[in-house]
Chains A and B, each alone.
Chain A
Amino acid sequence: MAALTDNTVRTTSRRIIGDEMIVFILMTAVLAIVPMTGIYPYFVMQGLCFALLACAFNLLLGYGGLLSFGHAMFLGTAGYVCAHALKVWGFPPELGIVAGVVAAALLSIVTGVVAIRRQGIYFAMITLALAQLLYFIYLQTPFTHGEDGIQGVPQGKMFGVLDLSHPDTLYYVVLGGFLFGFLAIYRAINSPFGEVLKAIRENEQRAISLGYKTDQYKLLAYILSGTLAGLAGSLKVLVAQNASLTDVHWTMSGEIVLMTLVGGLGTVFGPVAGAFAIIAMQQYLAGFGQWVTVIQGVIFVVCVLTFRRGVVGEIAHYFKRSL
């Protein structure tokens, strides 16, 4: 059976690092000057949160070959815990973020132990079912305030000095969080751990026969992915100042898959591009919003049928570079 993605371009490792470095510096530079360009910063911040989320998801699917259809549960869990910590317990923002991330990490350990027992489509169905279970739990628990969500979350002062209610300050904090997560994922992909993960994706039986305990590697990837998705969830709370049920609903999980698919599975920058594309679509197509779901569905179908490498994957393939 053909592998899930054919986005791996075989070139010497030095050149890969070179190309990716250039694009990374470009991306960082562009993102760093955004507040000075007059582009609407709120939109970019939201995009950054989803970009990190999609990158975390991509670590699992693009490199580990595991399709999680329940990644919204990490986003939402971290969001709820972070929002609750900030609003009710009066945590400072840095501790609120940590609280959200820790909650997502714990959740990923618990769900990972269950989900990792099956592969392929079973894994997808199990993660979806687990996320739905969590959705109902959050719906019914009083601290989430059901449909109302946790609203008006205070942004506070980070480390006591950075006033996050100032848009520019908030922007650079979110950008910092995104870059931290992005580099962590990049580091993981290019480490021996990442190589084993790719080997498992290509052929799990062979990896097992080489003596690797593949379940442990998969679980580790799952936990890393879930934790970083949690970081995205915490940051998102600071930006949106609310945490709501939509972040744990299955439609959100679907959107995460879509972002990654559009951008390019198993590419370093694809999920970032995909996330921005989908978020822009949601915000700017809101005028004829009735059709947003249909458009998303069409993109899914078109991507799967004709465009499996995604935008960045196609570009990389054309130039025979790895991005």
Chain B
Amino acid sequence: MRIRLAALLVGTALTFGMTFAAMAQDKVTDKNVKIGVLTDLSSLYADLGGEGSVVAAEMAADDSGLKAKGWKIDVISADHQNKPDVGAGIARRWIDTDKVDIIADVPNSGVALAVNNIVKEKNSILLDSGAGSSELTNTQCTPNTVHFTYDTYMLAQSTGGAMVKAGGDTWFFITADYAFGHALENDTTAVVKANGGKVLGSVKAPLNTADFSSYLLQAQASKAKVIGLANAGGDTTNSIKQAAEFGIVKGGQKLAGLLMFLSDVHSLGLNVAQGLNLSETFYWDANDQTRAFSKRFSERLKTHAMPTMVHAGVYAGLLHYFKALEALGGNPHDGAKVVAKMKEMPTDDPLFGKGVIRIDGRAIHPAFLFEVKAPAESKGPWDLYKLVGTTPGDQAFRPLSESKCSLVKH
């Protein structure tokens, strides 16, 4: 009797012990991943991010090869409506109740910075591709954030530097009159001067100006070789359209769009946009790999548009994330730990090539200066760019020596 009781006790203990061991094992080999694509599905950034970013995330999940190895990957998405409150609310809810592991894309700097604070507080991950603010990896950097694709500092370096080298050594800026525009103008000015160029003047145009002709007349009168457009979205497209009307490019001046995307150029049309210079880190027609990806991408997308660099960044960033998870042997649901692994492993993907993610969270890859083709040179609706110059990754982004990120030890 006593022996039987002892045996029972031992048996129970063993069973419990094994269950615990199994549970502990489960923790390491948890192979469930949930990706939340937080983007602008309805307004300003819907074309450069939006539905395309969701498709890019799904493609990354499919192409990672993890599903075949027994992983379960869910992709959910939501529209932050360009409101930091709404975006932050969704991010909180995703992390707290939906157990989302990583929040991807997040165009709109205001929303991205708000989400940036939340992922840090809750030890989740922000993989940003759509936002331009270089503060994400500078003063506001966190151990939970990775910034892919581009930022305003890089745009200034690439466009400013490469254009001066190509002979555009006198500049005039038309600047959106708020923090973003000022930063873009100041960064570009510094690069232009460092490369031996001169800035002849600038004019601050309020946001959402419908008519840029006054500013364009001033830029024309300045006789600068390059007119830098330090603005975004509708302001940029309107200023380019009206510059064509005033014959600015035909008059020999060059336009440089400091923040423009493939989707903007496509919607402007080559007639208007021809001769425009702009920087991107990805172009669909760059090589066989990018073409193959872009073909599959546009087939999956409702509008059949070609991917922008933001879409490419979502895809490549998530691929790298999956690699880190695989190297960890499972999903530890520990944001900082995964991000540390992502920084430890060099990046290598078909779209951006080889690169690294720096300690401050900045993904490093080359930047390209493109010129928009003339209608006669273009062979199709998406054949828009020709390559003018390349800035290597280590020169394109803010060097760590200038960084104000708390993770960087000087």
Contacts and interface: CB of A to CB of B under 8 A. Distances in A.
Nearest to A293: B42
Contact of A240 (B77, B78, B85, B179): B85
B88 A242 contact: yes
B135 A148 contact: yes
Given A136-B206, A290-B42, A240 B84 contact: yes
B180 interface: yes
A289 B41 contact: yes
A131 B93 CA distance: 31
Interface in B178-214: 178-181, 206-207
Interface stretch (B24-32, B105-113, B400-408): B105-113
A241 interface: yes
Nearest to B108: A147
Which of B42, B90, B179: most chain A CB closer than 10 A? B179
A43 B80 CA distance: 15
Contact of B178 (A147, A247, A291): A147
Contact of A290 (B79, B86, B177, B179): B79
B78 A43 contact: no
A180 B113 CA distance: 32
A287 B42 CA distance: 11
Contacts of B303: none
A289 B76 CA distance: 13
B: contact size bracket: 35 or more
A40 B110 contact: no
A246 B42 contact: no
A42 B93 contact: yes
Contact of B85 (A139, A145, A148, A244): A244
Which of B85, B96, B97: most chain A CB closer than 10 A? B85
Contacts of A42: 89, 92-93
A142 B84 contact: no
A119 interface: no
A147 B110 contact: yes
Contacts of B248: none
Contacts of A139: 177-178, 206-207
A149 B114 contact: yes
Contact of A46 (B89, B116, B179): B89
18 contacts: A40-B97, A42-B89, A145-B179, A146-B178, A147-B110, A147-B178, A149-B113, A151-B113, A151-B117, A241-B88, A241-B117, A246-B84, A282-B81, A283-B86, A283-B90, A286-B86, A292-B42, A292-B79
Closest 5 pairs (CB-CB, A-B)? A289-B79, A146-B179, A146-B178, A286-B78, A151-B113
Interface of B: 41-42, 46, 76-86, 88-90, 92-93, 96-97, 108-110, 113-114, 116-117, 133, 135, 140, 177-181, 206-207
Interface of A: 40, 42-43, 46, 136, 139-140, 142, 144-149, 151-152, 236, 240-242, 244-247, 282-283, 286-293
